[in-house]
Amino acid sequence: MTIHPMKLRLLLTALLASVLTAFAAEVPKIDPAAAAKLVAEGKAVLVDCREPSEWAETGVVAAATTLAKSDFDGAQKDWKPFLEKNAGKEIIVYCRSGGRAGTVAAALAAKGVKTSNAGGFKAWADAGQPTRKADAKK
């Protein structure tokens, strides 16, 4: 039996999507107040995984480290040293709406890193968490 290449591609895409969804479902979500408390206590670090142009447009949460998802998906020039420096701490990730943060958090969890998805930047700003300006260059 031969499977048409297009059908095989669709099947593999569906399988990958279901695996990623399963990983994302296992990552705990955390609200801004609880995340800020963990960061203030030194038990966790907060990462904004949006892209530099987004940081420049909206700013970032004051306590956040800016590490682009594109770097996470690529060479991890910035991510690798950050993860080494913060080994043993929970990595709390947020993005614009929580989707990219969930993907990054799931990948970190699969590597044994304690992590949470803190959702999107707007929720942080709406919760009154302090923000700061950020440069588009990283």
- pLDDT tens, residue by residue, 18-28: 555 554 448 99
Kindly report the pTM of this predicted structure. 0.80
**If we measure between CA atoms, which residue out of 68, 114, 110, 63 comes closest to residue 90?**
114
Q: What is the pLDDT of residue 26?
A: 80
Task: Identify whether 101 is part of a domain.
Answer: yes
Q: How far apart are CA 97 and CA 14, in angstroms?
A: 23
**H or E element at residue 119:** strand 115-120
Task: Identify whether 112 is part of a domain.
Answer: yes
CATH code of the domain in which 104 resides: 3.40.250.10
Mean of pLDDT over the chain? 89
Q: What is the pLDDT of residue 138?
A: 53
> What is the b/e burial string over 79-92, where b = at least 16 CB atoms within 10 angstroms of the residue's CB?
beebbeeeeebbbb
Task: Identify whether 32 is part of a domain.
Answer: yes
Task: Identify whether 71 is part of a domain.
Answer: yes
Task: Identify whether 104 is part of a domain.
Answer: yes
| Residues 6+ away with beta carbon under 8 Å from 95 | 48, 49, 50, 69, 101, 104, 120, 121
Residue 2's pLDDT band (boundaries 50, 70, 90)?
Answer: confident
**Whether residue 135 has pLDDT greater than 90:** no
Task: Identify whether 138 is part of a domain.
Answer: no
Give residue-wise pLDDT tens across range 59-89. Answer: 999 999 999 999 999 999 999 999 999 999 9
Residues spanned by the domain of 51? 5-132
Q: Total structural domains in the chain?
A: 1
**If we measure between CA atoms, which residue out of 84, 92, 85, 74 comes closest to residue 129?**
92
Task: Identify whether 137 is part of a domain.
Answer: no
